[in-house]
Amino acid sequence: MTQAKVTLPVLRDMKARREPITWLTAYDYPTAQAMDQSGIDMILVGDSLGMTVLGYETTLPVTMDEMVVFTGAVSRAVKRAFVVGDMPFMSYQAEPAEAIRNAGRLLAQGGADAVKLEGGARLAHVVEAITNAGIPVFGHIGLTPQSASQLGGYRAQARTEETARRLVEDARALERAGAVALLVECVPPDACRLVHEALEIPILGLGSGLDCDGQLLIVHDMLGMFDRFTPKFVKKYASLGEEMRTAFTAYREEVKSGAFPTAAHTYSMAQESAG
């Protein structure tokens, strides 16, 4: 495992030699630090924090100020991983100048290495504007949660030949606009393969099969810490939510019974020296 900082050229080299890229979300200092020390290649400070951390029903209420704070916490923990900060809802859709300012905040104040925004060809002009300002942009197509109501809910996309063709067109438009990488979320593997074959930039998948250059998972999903719903594509690598409840219950019972704290958890008065 290399300790060198992951950069865009490193990600492109990984794609070229077919080394899968590992990507996880993180929203706080200790989690990001553990990921970085584990050799995770990229960390996404996703607006998914609105649901997993802040308790919103969707990602839509997340603000730019909140994204800057959480991105900063993650970036301060990271020595190696490539950090991508999410552009929240309505931080980039209104006009390119505002999008540039907000993207700049994620780099200048949040310490991110790049930003990510949702949308296909219709957002290509925004990607181009941000790129021309010197800010690396990750595209995001397929299931785009900020547009879930328009898409008919949180459901798989590009499940027909026609919609798969449009997915490829969106991907090509983003690459032409200057996107440095692309997240393809919740589409059939065949559709993701078409995107992968059509583009030269790294393609990362979230619930889209193996035919891409790397994988992303939401950390609270893979650790079993978010139980509101679990997407089909999630593999749980731990059940930390259950372990936390067990620990909290044991603590409550010991405090109630007087079993905690013991003498081992308290301080003694200093003895004064005689004469």
| Active-site residue list | 185
Q: Which residue has the tokens 């300012």?
A: 101
Contact by Cβ (8 Å): 35, 83: no
Q: Maximum Cα–Cα distance for the chain, whole Å?
A: 93
Q: Which residue has the tokens 């989690």?
A: 31
Contact by Cβ (8 Å): 88, 63: yes
Strands 214-217 and 203-206 turn out to be parallel
